[in-house]
A and B are shown apart, each in its own frame.
Chain A
Protein backbone atom coordinates (compact mmCIF):
# COMPACT_ATOMS: atom_id res chain seq x y z
CA UNK A 1 0.00 0.00 0.00
CA UNK A 2 1.24 3.51 -0.69
CA UNK A 3 0.69 6.73 1.19
CA UNK A 4 -2.24 8.04 -0.83
CA UNK A 5 -4.12 4.74 -0.66
CA UNK A 6 -3.53 4.58 3.07
CA UNK A 7 -4.75 8.11 3.68
CA UNK A 8 -7.76 7.55 1.48
CA UNK A 9 -8.79 4.40 3.30
CA UNK A 10 -8.13 5.99 6.66
CA UNK A 11 -10.23 8.99 5.68
CA UNK A 12 -13.12 6.77 4.62
CA UNK A 13 -12.99 4.83 7.86
CA UNK A 14 -12.77 8.00 9.94
CA UNK A 15 -15.65 9.76 8.20
CA UNK A 16 -17.97 7.08 9.46
CA UNK A 17 -17.31 8.21 13.01
CA UNK A 18 -16.00 11.75 13.05
CA UNK A 19 -16.96 15.15 11.80
CA UNK A 20 -14.97 16.57 8.93
CA UNK A 21 -12.66 18.91 10.90
CA UNK A 22 -11.51 16.08 13.17
CA UNK A 23 -10.98 13.82 10.17
CA UNK A 24 -8.90 16.48 8.48
CA UNK A 25 -6.90 17.05 11.64
CA UNK A 26 -6.11 13.34 11.98
CA UNK A 27 -5.28 12.99 8.30
CA UNK A 28 -2.91 15.94 8.43
CA UNK A 29 -1.17 14.29 11.39
CA UNK A 30 -0.72 11.11 9.38
CA UNK A 31 0.53 13.05 6.40
CA UNK A 32 3.02 14.61 8.75
CA UNK A 33 4.12 11.15 9.93
CA UNK A 34 4.59 10.01 6.36
CA UNK A 35 6.73 13.01 5.52
CA UNK A 36 8.85 12.66 8.66
CA UNK A 37 9.13 8.90 8.21
CA UNK A 38 10.27 9.36 4.63
CA UNK A 39 12.91 11.85 5.74
CA UNK A 40 14.21 9.14 8.06
CA UNK A 41 14.66 6.84 5.10
CA UNK A 42 11.59 4.66 5.38
CA UNK A 43 9.55 3.68 2.36
CA UNK A 44 5.82 4.37 2.19
CA UNK A 45 5.08 0.65 2.32
CA UNK A 46 7.19 0.25 5.47
CA UNK A 47 5.41 3.15 7.11
CA UNK A 48 2.00 1.77 6.19
CA UNK A 49 2.96 -1.52 7.80
CA UNK A 50 4.11 0.31 10.92
CA UNK A 51 0.84 2.21 11.27
CA UNK A 52 -1.24 -0.93 10.86
CA UNK A 53 -4.39 -1.34 8.76
CA UNK A 54 -6.16 2.03 8.32
CA UNK A 55 -9.54 0.66 9.41
CA UNK A 56 -7.97 -0.65 12.58
CA UNK A 57 -6.27 2.69 13.13
CA UNK A 58 -9.65 4.41 12.95
CA UNK A 59 -10.97 1.97 15.57
CA UNK A 60 -8.00 2.61 17.84
CA UNK A 61 -8.72 6.29 17.68
CA UNK A 62 -12.30 5.69 18.57
CA UNK A 63 -11.61 3.52 21.57
CA UNK A 64 -8.77 5.68 22.79
CA UNK A 65 -10.41 9.01 22.32
CA UNK A 66 -13.03 9.35 24.99
CA UNK A 67 -12.75 13.10 24.82
CA UNK A 68 -13.65 13.20 21.13
CA UNK A 69 -17.33 13.09 20.55
CA UNK A 70 -18.36 11.00 17.57
CA UNK A 71 -20.72 12.34 14.94
CA UNK A 72 -24.10 13.49 16.08
CA UNK A 73 -26.75 10.85 16.13
CA UNK A 74 -29.18 12.55 13.79
CA UNK A 75 -28.37 12.93 10.15
CA UNK A 76 -28.42 16.70 10.03
CA UNK A 77 -28.34 16.91 6.27
CA UNK A 78 -31.45 14.86 5.73
CA UNK A 79 -33.34 16.34 8.63
CA UNK A 80 -32.71 19.99 7.85
CA UNK A 81 -33.49 19.25 4.24
CA UNK A 82 -36.89 17.73 4.97
CA UNK A 83 -37.81 20.40 7.51
CA UNK A 84 -36.92 23.27 5.25
CA UNK A 85 -38.67 21.77 2.27
CA UNK A 86 -41.82 21.35 4.34
CA UNK A 87 -41.54 24.92 5.58
CA UNK A 88 -41.21 26.32 2.09
CA UNK A 89 -44.17 24.38 0.90
CA UNK A 90 -46.28 25.51 3.84
CA UNK A 91 -45.47 29.12 3.07
CA UNK A 92 -46.09 28.81 -0.65
CA UNK A 93 -49.14 26.59 -0.43
CA UNK A 94 -51.80 29.36 -0.47
CA UNK A 95 -50.34 30.83 -3.62
CA UNK A 96 -50.88 27.62 -5.50
CA UNK A 97 -54.64 27.93 -5.67
CA UNK A 98 -56.95 26.98 -8.51
CA UNK A 99 -56.10 30.15 -10.41
CA UNK A 100 -52.53 29.09 -10.73
CA UNK A 101 -53.50 25.69 -11.95
CA UNK A 102 -55.96 27.03 -14.46
CA UNK A 103 -53.53 29.56 -15.82
CA UNK A 104 -51.01 26.81 -16.34
CA UNK A 105 -53.61 24.77 -18.12
CA UNK A 106 -54.46 22.26 -15.43
CA UNK A 107 -58.18 21.84 -15.08
CA UNK A 108 -59.23 21.11 -11.52
CA UNK A 109 -60.71 17.62 -11.83
CA UNK A 110 -57.73 15.98 -13.42
CA UNK A 111 -54.66 18.13 -13.17
CA UNK A 112 -54.06 19.15 -9.58
CA UNK A 113 -54.03 15.67 -8.09
CA UNK A 114 -50.97 14.77 -10.00
CA UNK A 115 -49.45 18.16 -9.42
CA UNK A 116 -49.91 17.98 -5.65
CA UNK A 117 -48.67 14.44 -5.57
CA UNK A 118 -45.60 15.44 -7.46
CA UNK A 119 -44.90 18.00 -4.78
CA UNK A 120 -45.92 15.94 -1.79
CA UNK A 121 -44.37 12.64 -2.63
CA UNK A 122 -40.74 13.76 -2.50
CA UNK A 123 -41.48 15.52 0.78
CA UNK A 124 -42.98 12.40 2.26
CA UNK A 125 -40.06 10.36 1.08
CA UNK A 126 -37.67 12.79 2.65
CA UNK A 127 -39.57 12.78 5.92
CA UNK A 128 -39.36 9.02 6.06
CA UNK A 129 -35.73 9.17 5.05
CA UNK A 130 -35.00 11.61 7.83
CA UNK A 131 -36.64 9.35 10.39
CA UNK A 132 -34.86 6.39 8.99
CA UNK A 133 -31.49 8.11 8.91
CA UNK A 134 -31.76 9.36 12.47
CA UNK A 135 -32.72 5.92 13.60
CA UNK A 136 -29.91 4.17 11.83
CA UNK A 137 -27.32 6.76 12.80
CA UNK A 138 -28.12 6.61 16.49
CA UNK A 139 -27.72 2.89 16.86
CA UNK A 140 -24.39 2.16 18.49
CA UNK A 141 -23.59 -1.03 16.64
CA UNK A 142 -23.60 -1.21 12.87
CA UNK A 143 -26.74 -3.13 11.95
CA UNK A 144 -26.30 -6.70 10.82
CA UNK A 145 -27.40 -7.66 7.33
CA UNK A 146 -30.93 -8.64 8.35
CA UNK A 147 -31.41 -5.23 9.92
CA UNK A 148 -29.98 -3.63 6.81
CA UNK A 149 -32.34 -5.49 4.52
CA UNK A 150 -35.17 -4.59 6.83
CA UNK A 151 -34.23 -0.91 6.68
CA UNK A 152 -33.79 -0.99 2.94
CA UNK A 153 -37.22 -2.40 2.31
CA UNK A 154 -39.13 -0.78 5.14
CA UNK A 155 -38.83 2.71 3.68
CA UNK A 156 -39.97 2.06 0.11
CA UNK A 157 -42.82 -0.06 1.37
CA UNK A 158 -43.88 2.68 3.76
CA UNK A 159 -43.54 5.25 0.99
CA UNK A 160 -45.69 3.24 -1.36
CA UNK A 161 -48.31 2.78 1.35
CA UNK A 162 -48.45 6.50 2.06
CA UNK A 163 -48.65 7.16 -1.64
CA UNK A 164 -51.55 4.75 -2.03
CA UNK A 165 -53.46 6.30 0.84
CA UNK A 166 -52.83 9.80 -0.48
CA UNK A 167 -53.78 8.77 -3.95
CA UNK A 168 -56.93 7.03 -2.87
CA UNK A 169 -58.26 9.94 -0.90
CA UNK A 170 -57.13 12.76 -3.14
CA UNK A 171 -58.82 11.53 -6.29
CA UNK A 172 -62.54 12.07 -6.38
CA UNK A 173 -64.42 8.83 -6.73
CA UNK A 174 -66.46 10.15 -9.58
CA UNK A 175 -63.34 11.18 -11.41
CA UNK A 176 -63.27 10.01 -14.96
CA UNK A 177 -59.90 8.51 -14.43
CA UNK A 178 -61.35 5.85 -12.24
CA UNK A 179 -64.47 5.45 -14.24
CA UNK A 180 -66.86 3.15 -12.47
CA UNK A 181 -64.19 1.12 -10.76
CA UNK A 182 -63.53 3.40 -7.80
CA UNK A 183 -60.12 4.02 -6.27
CA UNK A 184 -59.49 0.34 -5.64
CA UNK A 185 -59.99 -0.59 -9.25
CA UNK A 186 -57.59 -3.06 -10.73
CA UNK A 187 -55.48 -0.84 -12.95
CA UNK A 188 -55.04 2.51 -11.38
CA UNK A 189 -53.28 2.00 -8.11
CA UNK A 190 -49.67 1.52 -9.03
CA UNK A 191 -49.24 0.93 -12.72
CA UNK A 192 -51.81 3.43 -13.80
CA UNK A 193 -50.21 4.05 -17.16
CA UNK A 194 -51.40 7.38 -18.38
CA UNK A 195 -52.54 8.71 -15.03
CA UNK A 196 -49.90 8.21 -12.46
CA UNK A 197 -46.89 6.46 -13.82
CA UNK A 198 -45.66 3.57 -15.87
CA UNK A 199 -44.04 0.46 -14.50
CA UNK A 200 -40.75 1.97 -15.51
CA UNK A 201 -41.25 5.17 -13.56
CA UNK A 202 -42.44 3.24 -10.52
CA UNK A 203 -39.36 1.10 -10.78
CA UNK A 204 -37.11 4.13 -11.09
CA UNK A 205 -38.78 5.62 -8.05
CA UNK A 206 -38.11 2.47 -6.10
CA UNK A 207 -34.49 2.28 -7.21
CA UNK A 208 -33.87 5.92 -6.37
CA UNK A 209 -35.27 5.46 -2.90
CA UNK A 210 -33.11 2.42 -2.25
CA UNK A 211 -30.03 4.20 -3.55
CA UNK A 212 -30.76 7.20 -1.38
CA UNK A 213 -31.08 5.06 1.67
CA UNK A 214 -27.79 3.41 0.95
CA UNK A 215 -26.22 6.83 0.61
CA UNK A 216 -27.69 8.22 3.78
CA UNK A 217 -26.55 5.20 5.69
CA UNK A 218 -24.00 6.50 8.12
CA UNK A 219 -24.64 10.04 7.01
CA UNK A 220 -23.14 10.26 3.57
CA UNK A 221 -21.59 13.73 3.29
CA UNK A 222 -23.39 14.45 0.03
CA UNK A 223 -26.76 13.05 1.04
CA UNK A 224 -28.55 16.33 0.35
CA UNK A 225 -27.34 16.54 -3.22
CA UNK A 226 -28.63 13.10 -3.93
CA UNK A 227 -31.91 14.06 -2.35
CA UNK A 228 -32.09 17.15 -4.50
CA UNK A 229 -31.42 15.23 -7.67
CA UNK A 230 -33.88 12.59 -6.63
CA UNK A 231 -36.67 15.04 -6.02
CA UNK A 232 -36.13 16.94 -9.22
CA UNK A 233 -35.99 13.82 -11.34
CA UNK A 234 -38.88 12.27 -9.49
CA UNK A 235 -41.10 15.23 -10.26
CA UNK A 236 -40.39 15.02 -13.93
CA UNK A 237 -40.86 11.27 -14.00
CA UNK A 238 -44.11 11.43 -12.10
CA UNK A 239 -45.52 13.96 -14.48
CA UNK A 240 -44.03 12.72 -17.66
CA UNK A 241 -46.70 10.32 -18.81
CA UNK A 242 -49.59 12.55 -17.85
CA UNK A 243 -47.85 15.52 -19.38
CA UNK A 244 -47.41 13.66 -22.59
CA UNK A 245 -51.05 12.72 -22.78
CA UNK A 246 -52.10 16.29 -22.08
CA UNK A 247 -49.72 17.67 -24.64
CA UNK A 248 -50.99 15.18 -27.20
CA UNK A 249 -54.56 16.18 -26.43
CA UNK A 250 -53.51 19.84 -26.71
CA UNK A 251 -55.27 20.75 -23.45
CA UNK A 252 -52.65 23.06 -22.01
CA UNK A 253 -49.27 24.59 -22.43
CA UNK A 254 -46.94 21.70 -21.61
CA UNK A 255 -43.77 23.70 -21.23
CA UNK A 256 -45.25 25.93 -18.54
CA UNK A 257 -46.24 23.01 -16.41
CA UNK A 258 -42.99 21.13 -16.84
CA UNK A 259 -41.14 24.25 -15.82
CA UNK A 260 -43.37 24.92 -12.82
CA UNK A 261 -43.26 21.31 -11.65
CA UNK A 262 -39.52 21.24 -11.82
CA UNK A 263 -39.21 24.61 -10.19
CA UNK A 264 -41.51 23.87 -7.30
CA UNK A 265 -39.67 20.67 -6.62
CA UNK A 266 -36.25 22.16 -7.12
CA UNK A 267 -36.60 25.42 -5.21
CA UNK A 268 -37.17 24.03 -1.71
CA UNK A 269 -34.52 21.44 -2.30
CA UNK A 270 -32.04 23.97 -3.48
CA UNK A 271 -32.78 26.25 -0.55
CA UNK A 272 -32.55 23.37 1.88
CA UNK A 273 -29.28 22.22 0.41
CA UNK A 274 -27.96 25.76 0.68
CA UNK A 275 -29.09 26.11 4.26
CA UNK A 276 -27.61 22.78 5.11
CA UNK A 277 -24.36 23.78 3.49
CA UNK A 278 -24.32 26.96 5.57
CA UNK A 279 -25.06 25.03 8.76
CA UNK A 280 -22.22 22.66 7.98
CA UNK A 281 -19.83 25.53 7.35
CA UNK A 282 -20.71 27.18 10.65
CA UNK A 283 -20.56 23.96 12.64
CA UNK A 284 -17.31 22.82 11.08
CA UNK A 285 -15.74 26.25 11.57
CA UNK A 286 -16.61 26.08 15.25
CA UNK A 287 -15.36 22.53 15.56
CA UNK A 288 -12.17 23.39 13.74
CA UNK A 289 -11.62 26.20 16.19
CA UNK A 290 -12.08 23.80 19.08
CA UNK A 291 -9.77 21.31 17.46
CA UNK A 292 -6.89 23.39 16.32
CA UNK A 293 -3.59 22.83 18.01
CA UNK A 294 -3.89 23.30 21.74
Chain B
Protein backbone atom coordinates (compact mmCIF):
# COMPACT_ATOMS: atom_id res chain seq x y z
CA UNK B 1 0.00 0.00 0.00
CA UNK B 2 1.42 3.34 -0.89
CA UNK B 3 1.01 7.07 -0.84
CA UNK B 4 -2.25 8.84 -0.21
CA UNK B 5 -4.30 5.72 0.30
CA UNK B 6 -1.94 4.35 2.93
CA UNK B 7 -1.94 7.69 4.66
CA UNK B 8 -5.72 7.95 4.71
CA UNK B 9 -6.29 4.40 5.86
CA UNK B 10 -3.65 4.66 8.57
CA UNK B 11 -5.12 7.90 9.83
CA UNK B 12 -8.47 6.24 10.06
CA UNK B 13 -6.99 3.28 11.95
CA UNK B 14 -4.99 5.39 14.38
CA UNK B 15 -7.95 7.63 15.14
CA UNK B 16 -10.12 4.58 15.62
CA UNK B 17 -7.65 3.05 18.09
CA UNK B 18 -7.23 6.24 20.04
CA UNK B 19 -10.99 6.84 20.09
CA UNK B 20 -11.61 3.48 21.78
CA UNK B 21 -9.59 4.38 24.86
CA UNK B 22 -6.68 6.49 25.97
CA UNK B 23 -3.66 4.44 25.01
CA UNK B 24 0.13 4.67 24.77
CA UNK B 25 2.27 4.97 21.68
CA UNK B 26 3.73 1.51 21.48
CA UNK B 27 0.33 -0.13 21.80
CA UNK B 28 -1.05 1.88 18.89
CA UNK B 29 1.99 1.05 16.76
CA UNK B 30 1.80 -2.60 17.66
CA UNK B 31 -1.92 -3.06 17.15
CA UNK B 32 -1.98 -1.36 13.77
CA UNK B 33 1.40 -2.67 12.63
CA UNK B 34 0.23 -6.13 13.57
CA UNK B 35 -2.74 -6.15 11.19
CA UNK B 36 -0.86 -4.74 8.21
CA UNK B 37 1.77 -7.31 7.28
CA UNK B 38 5.08 -5.83 6.22
CA UNK B 39 4.35 -2.35 7.46
CA UNK B 40 7.03 -0.64 9.52
CA UNK B 41 5.90 0.59 12.93
CA UNK B 42 7.67 3.83 12.11
CA UNK B 43 5.11 4.54 9.40
CA UNK B 44 2.35 4.31 11.98
CA UNK B 45 4.36 6.51 14.32
CA UNK B 46 4.65 9.14 11.59
CA UNK B 47 0.86 9.19 11.20
CA UNK B 48 0.34 9.35 14.96
CA UNK B 49 2.79 12.22 15.26
CA UNK B 50 1.10 14.14 12.51
CA UNK B 51 -2.34 13.64 14.01
CA UNK B 52 -0.99 14.85 17.31
CA UNK B 53 0.57 17.88 15.65
CA UNK B 54 -2.64 18.94 13.92
CA UNK B 55 -4.64 18.54 17.13
CA UNK B 56 -6.64 15.40 16.34
CA UNK B 57 -5.11 13.71 19.34
CA UNK B 58 -3.60 14.96 22.54
CA UNK B 59 -0.75 13.42 24.46
CA UNK B 60 0.14 13.49 28.13
CA UNK B 61 2.87 11.86 30.16
CA UNK B 62 1.53 9.21 32.49
CA UNK B 63 2.72 6.33 34.63
CA UNK B 64 2.51 2.85 33.19
CA UNK B 65 0.41 0.42 35.23
CA UNK B 66 2.84 -1.63 37.29
CA UNK B 67 5.26 1.01 38.44
CA UNK B 68 7.02 1.01 35.09
CA UNK B 69 8.52 4.05 33.42
CA UNK B 70 6.48 7.12 32.52
CA UNK B 71 5.24 7.09 28.96
CA UNK B 72 3.17 9.13 26.56
CA UNK B 73 -0.55 8.44 26.48
CA UNK B 74 -2.69 9.59 23.60
CA UNK B 75 -6.39 10.37 23.55
CA UNK B 76 -8.66 11.73 20.86
CA UNK B 77 -9.87 15.34 20.78
CA UNK B 78 -13.15 16.77 19.49
CA UNK B 79 -11.63 17.70 16.14
CA UNK B 80 -10.13 14.21 16.02
CA UNK B 81 -13.59 12.71 16.52
CA UNK B 82 -14.95 14.82 13.68
CA UNK B 83 -12.08 13.69 11.44
CA UNK B 84 -12.74 10.08 12.42
CA UNK B 85 -16.44 10.37 11.50
CA UNK B 86 -15.53 11.92 8.18
CA UNK B 87 -12.87 9.32 7.38
CA UNK B 88 -15.19 6.47 8.37
CA UNK B 89 -17.92 7.79 6.06
CA UNK B 90 -15.38 8.14 3.24
CA UNK B 91 -14.07 4.67 3.88
CA UNK B 92 -17.56 3.17 3.75
CA UNK B 93 -18.34 5.05 0.56
CA UNK B 94 -15.14 3.81 -1.10
CA UNK B 95 -15.75 0.28 0.12
CA UNK B 96 -19.34 0.35 -1.13
CA UNK B 97 -18.32 1.68 -4.53
CA UNK B 98 -15.59 -0.89 -4.99
CA UNK B 99 -17.92 -3.68 -3.87
CA UNK B 100 -20.51 -2.56 -6.43
CA UNK B 101 -17.99 -3.29 -9.14
CA UNK B 102 -17.68 -6.80 -7.81
CA UNK B 103 -14.23 -6.44 -6.28
CA UNK B 104 -13.57 -8.58 -3.22
Could you tell me the distance between the alpha carbons of A52 and B29 in the complex, rounded to whole angstroms?
12
Q: Mark B30-45, 1 if CB is under 8 A from A, else 0.
A: 1001000000111101
Instruction: Select one of B25, B33, B43 contacting A32, CB under 8 A.
Output: B25
Residues of B within 8 A of A61 (CB): 42, 45-46, 49
The answer on a CB contact under 8 Å between B59 and A64 is no
The answer on a CB contact under 8 Å between A67 and B50 is yes
Could you tell me the distance between the alpha carbons of A30 and B50 in the complex, rounded to whole angstroms?
15
CB distance from B3 to the nearest CB of A (A): 9
The answer to whether B69 has its CB under 8 Å from any CB of chain A is yes
CB distance from A14 to the nearest CB of B (A): 11
CB distance from A67 to the nearest CB of B (A): 4
The answer on a CB contact under 8 Å between A36 and B24 is yes
Could you tell me the distance between the alpha carbons of A288 and B26 in the complex, rounded to whole angstroms?
23
Residues of A within 8 A of B33 (CB): 50
The answer on a CB contact under 8 Å between A52 and B61 is no
Chain A residues with a Cβ closer than 8 Å to the other chain, count: 26
The answer to whether B47 has its CB under 8 Å from any CB of chain A is yes
Could you tell me the distance between the alpha carbons of A247 and B54 in the complex, rounded to whole angstroms?
67
The answer to whether A51 has its CB under 8 Å from any CB of chain B is yes
The answer on a CB contact under 8 Å between B45 and A50 is no
Task: Give the dominant DSSP class at A's interface.
Answer: helix
Residues of B within 8 A of A68 (CB): 49-50, 53
The answer to whether A35 has its CB under 8 Å from any CB of chain B is yes
> Given contacts A64-B7, A293-B61, are A29 and B42 in contact (CB under 8 A)?
no
The answer on a CB contact under 8 Å between B64 and A64 is no
Residues of B within 8 A of A33 (CB): 25-26, 29, 41, 45
Q: Mark A53-95, 1 if CB is under 8 A from B, else 0.
A: 1001100110111111000000000000000000000000000
The answer to whether B88 has its CB under 8 Å from any CB of chain A is no
Could you tell me the distance between the alpha carbons of A130 and B1 in the complex, rounded to whole angstroms?
42
- Nearest B residue to A26 via CB reads B49
- Nearest B residue to A294 via CB reads B58
- Nearest B residue to A65 via CB reads B50
The answer to whether A180 has its CB under 8 Å from any CB of chain B is no
Residues of A within 8 A of B85 (CB): none
Could you tell me the distance between the alpha carbons of A29 and B25 in the complex, rounded to whole angstroms?
8
Q: Mark B62-74, 1 if CB is under 8 A from A, else 0.
A: 0010001101100
